Structure 1
Amino acid sequence: MTTSVSAALKHWPFADFLAAGKGLGLTDPPVIDGPAGPTVVRDGRTLANFASINFLNLQDRADVQRHFLDGIARYGLTTGGSRMTQGICRPHLELERELCAATGKERAISFASGLLANLGFVHAMTHHMNLGQGWEIDNQDAVFVLDRDAHWSLWKAVENLTYGRQLFAFRHNDAADLNRILSRLEGKKTVVVFESVYSADGTVAPIGTLLDLCERHQALSYVDDANGFLLYGAENRPFAAEFDALRRADFVMVSFSKSVGLEGGAIAGPTDPMLALELLSGTSMFTAAMQPPTASTATRIMRLLRTEPAIVDDYLRRVAVFRERLAEIGFPPHSTPSYLISVPAGDDATAVELKDSFLARGYLVPVFFYPAVPRNKPLLRLILNAGHTEEHLDGFLRTLADLGGRLGLGGAR
């Protein structure tokens, strides 16, 4: 059996692909021990961690940990089956109701991840299903219009749509270009898809302006709010107008892995389409949901962020100071003042050397290469963690200034 499988694999050039990758620094994934937070133990070394998307670090709170353990005792570790065949677990129902309260929507459905939410939404909105006796729906005539910088999961979801007929793209955050495309699609069943905050460079969409265009052209709007959920919108926070406008979107997708700090995702929207998603998405019916104690704890954290706004306010203040300090040492981040901080890292070869040098000095710093960003325009994608100490931040900034000077990056001095 082993010989026949190996012989068959010769038709797939995996070995050549991996050999080329090793020349660019590809290795086996490092092993993480312990929790991922402001620091992480990787291959036995403790590193200051600027990569973790669990940036509020609420997993360290004793009350959050107790809630999770109580959830295990009350609900167990698994759903035990599909919500369509067995029923919805109460923690998922409470989570979805809390999400509706947060987004102003009528109904929500949770998924095991944000990626599955995006895949399921596009599948439902483009799918034909005939269950007999007149129970039929045909969405195959749907047209999707995506921001060019939309997340991989969104482009993966639409990859079977014919570009130029069922699928179009508008320039990143460019309302005029979106208007041009929608003007050509008048009368069609159209869905416009964009993100609130983009993960590579931290840019924020002109949400209100884009939604105005959707409403003018009678196109449905689907906003991927994976990166902005529960962070912005209050009057004393950045992007208040944009995130207030987000409540006008027809559908909002969220990921719980960012501000909430747990795995899972969900979509909120009008009642009838959300009920139909139970059947049409596929990624709800044919795969496991979030573990019940995870869903219960996500609800607890969402309520915590609503009742204790200082958690986010204090975090965003630290982000603003950190961005200023980056500029002071000659590494001004992208002009959009979001918590996702991107700093140019030279060319690809320099960025690899920079990443390895940071690692050697005890800092885990992610570098985004193509296809996450344009070719040979890598970025340091930094996420400040609420648990970072001043020593972590001071040490990182000193190291960046030193390495920048050695490698000829930024305006380091």
Structure 2
Amino acid sequence: MGFDLATDLAARRRQHRYRQPHIMDGPSGRHAVLGGRQYLNFCSNDYLGLANDPAVVAALRQGAADWGVGSGASHLVCGHQRPHQDLEEALAEHTGRERALLFSTGYMANLGVMTALLGKGDAVFQDRLNHASLLDGGLLSGARFRRFSHNDGQALASQLARSEARRKLVVADGVFSMDGDVAPLAAYADACEAHDAWLMVDDAHGIGVLDAQGRGSVFAQQVNDRVPVLMGTLGKGLGTAGAFVAGSSELIETLIQFARTYIYTTAMPAAVAAASLISLDKAREETWRRQKLAVLIQRFRDGAEQLGYHLMDSATPIQPLLIGDDAGAMALSATLREQGMLITAIRPPTVPQGQARLRITLSAAHEEDDVDRLLQALSTSKEIQ
């Protein structure tokens, strides 16, 4: 029989789920250049507008001049350079933790944590809408895998009460990447503390964005001291690349010894770490970015509701328009592109069946006029439909 790849690819096309990368001919920011045309970009995760910030770019250039363009080895061989150490210490301070540890990607961080902490005889409990990297990490850990209803602290508590596992790890996104809503972290912490479990929060979409200083979900919800494992990424709110895990000194030492995705991979370029130090400072100190975001988010929500669009329950920069069927989401994305708006349609398996959507994301790089142009395009698209 062999591998009938053509049949699988054809089926994905028929389902309107065939995906291809867009080749961008310009930097991430307010605008995107695609196929020789400039669009307003409403699908980037560059929430604070730092990915093309001049000071961050200058730090990357200087870092490359000082440290080269590659680290040359894994952290535990000879790839851990001074900017990596400085960034880990800054991230630990920023998140109120004893230590932090850098990973090359958020995906690797999540896999590394769960495979290092869990094994046979253990159990991992995951929110049903968790990111794919969290689900994969749980499955690869070898622990008994359980999923509970989205944002349902009582359902979690019931599952924990029935578990006799040696170690119990509860895992949730702080901000859910496709819905834009936030996890009820206090309820999860209550359940964990009542049933001798640890709570891990993936705050990829909260770091830089939530809390007055951009410290993320655990600070915004005042549960930082109740969350033993915090994961955050650098490539979204902070605008660079890579990820980190922050926690106790014992946790970090455990990851250094047992997290295969940390041990067996080349360290990120030191230049990226140097740039991330600058973006972290700017995210913390330039509070106008979060204030501007809040204004843009409210402006969009008010306008979209007036147009009769179904908005999901989100106060974050992630503002999904739920369409439902895959073909409809693709058609609306194409119509908006004709009007100069770049917004990718999100379809299964990224989201559940029947919940295809446009994942609109706002950035501090946007202006109020940009939001108004988007709303006008949505109004025109509604008339066309």
Task: Output the TM-score relative to the length of structure 1.
Answer: 0.87
- Of 4, 12, 21, the residue aligned with 1:21 is 12
* Aligned ranges 1:31-180 → 2 under 5 Å: 31-86=23-78, 88-126=80-118, 139-160=119-140, 166-180=144-158
Q: Give the deviation of 1:160 after TM superposition.
A: 3.9
SS of 1:150 mapped into structure 2: coil
1:216 paired with 2:209, answer no
Q: What amino acid is the match of 2:193?
A: E
Separation in 1, partners of 2:20, 2:162: 48
Separation in 2, partners of 1:98, 1:119: 23
Q: 1:291–1:326: structure 2 CA closer, same or farther, 3 Å change rule? A: same
Runs of 4+ in 1 over 6 A off after TM superposition: 235-241
User: Any gaps of 5 or more consecutive residues in structure 1?
Assistant: 1-9, 127-138, 408-413
Separation in 2, partners of 1:356, 1:311: 30
Separation in 2, partners of 1:73, 1:49: 31
* Aligned ranges 1:236-275 → 2 under 5 Å: 242-275=220-253
Q: What amino acid is the match of 1:216?
A: A
Q: Give the deviation of 1:142 after TM superposition.
A: 2.1
Q: What amino acid is the match of 2:3?
A: W
Q: Give the deviation of 1:351 after TM superposition.
A: 1.4
CA contact (8 A) 1:57 1:387 kept: yes
- Of 215, 218, 225, the residue aligned with 2:203 is 225
SS of 1:254 mapped into structure 2: strand
Q: 1:28–1:114: structure 2 CA closer, same or farther, 3 Å change rule? A: closer
Q: Give the deviation of 1:236 after TM superposition.
A: 12
- Of 363, 376, 389, the residue aligned with 2:341 is 363
Q: Give the deviation of 1:26 after TM superposition.
A: 3.0
Separation in 2, partners of 1:217, 1:336: 30
Deviates most, 282-291 or 143-152? 282-291
1:403 paired with 2:381, answer yes
2:325: which partner in 1? 347
CA contact (8 A) 1:144 1:191 kept: yes
Q: Give the deviation of 1:398 after TM superposition.
A: 1.2
Q: Give the deviation of 1:27 after TM superposition.
A: 6.1
Task: Output the TM-score relative to the length of structure 2.
Answer: 0.93
SS of 2:273 mapped into structure 1: helix
- Of 168, 176, 192, the residue aligned with 2:170 is 192
2:3: which partner in 1? 12
1:313 paired with 2:291, answer yes
CA contact (8 A) 1:114 1:266 kept: yes
Separation in 2, partners of 1:174, 1:202: 16
CA contact (8 A) 2:121 2:165 kept: no
